[in-house]
Every structure is written in structure tokens, then in C-alpha cells.
Amino acid sequence: MLMQPDDLQLIGKELAIKWPDGLESFIPMEQLRRACPCAVCQGETDILGHLHKNPTQPLTAAAFELIRMARVGGYALQPLWGDGHQTGLYSFDFLRRLSGVPSPPP
């Protein structure tokens, strides 16, 4: 079941998410940035199942500064980070799992 957040706010250095089932999540910006699901950050799998990944680049303090966050359709968020990175799409399901808040039963 796709669950869209009722509210999203940046509070200090955390993304606060209020879910329709009444639970709340607080995800630190550093955790959010390091979990970026894009192919640049996580790599891509080829047709044979081999993971191809760029060398890991050190992240500067700017990499953890959230400039803005846009909704993508009804299923994800796309953040723009202080270092210019913006290719990650964070699905709402992914955010829920990342926050450690259990998903509601189907």
C-alpha cells in the first residue's frame, strides 16, 4: 500500500515526516544523504547482475545541507543538496523504511 506523508518539515538537521497512520519519523540529513538511492551513489546493475559503481567520493558539509525538496508525482521526493546533487528519488516507502517506522499492515 502506497502511503503518502501528511506533512514534511525540516526541523533543525532532520526531516520530520508525519504519516497518515499517526506515526512520525525523524531522519537526520546526513543519514538521508548517505542513503541516496540514485545510480551515481548506489551504482547500477547490468543485465548480468554485476554492480557497477563509481569510486566513492568524500562528502563535504554542503552535501548534508538541504536546499529544497520537491514532490515527484504521488510517490517520491527529490532533494537538492548543498553540493548540487539532485538525482536521487526517495520514494515514500523508502523513506518509511529508512526512518525505521514500521509500515502499517496491508
Mind listing the domains of the chain with CATH numbers? 7-99 (3.30.2020.30)
pLDDT value at position 106?
A: 63
Residues 79-105 have pLDDT tens digits of: 999 999 999 999 999 999 998 877 666
- The DSSP-derived string for the chain is -----SEEEEETTEEEEE-TTS-EEEEEHHHHHHT--SHHHH-EE-TTS-EE-PPPPPPPGGGG-EEEEEEETTTEEEEEETTS-----EEHHHHHHHHTPPPPP-
| pTM, to two decimals | 0.86
**Does position 24 have pLDDT exceeding 90, yes or no?**
yes
Residues 45-85 have pLDDT tens digits of: 989 988 888 887 789 999 999 999 999 999 999 999 999 99
pLDDT value at position 51?
A: 86
Q: How much is the average pLDDT of 7-33?
A: 95
pLDDT value at position 82?
A: 96
Q: How much is the average pLDDT of 30-34?
A: 96
pLDDT value at position 104?
A: 66
Distance CA 4, CA 59 (A): 30
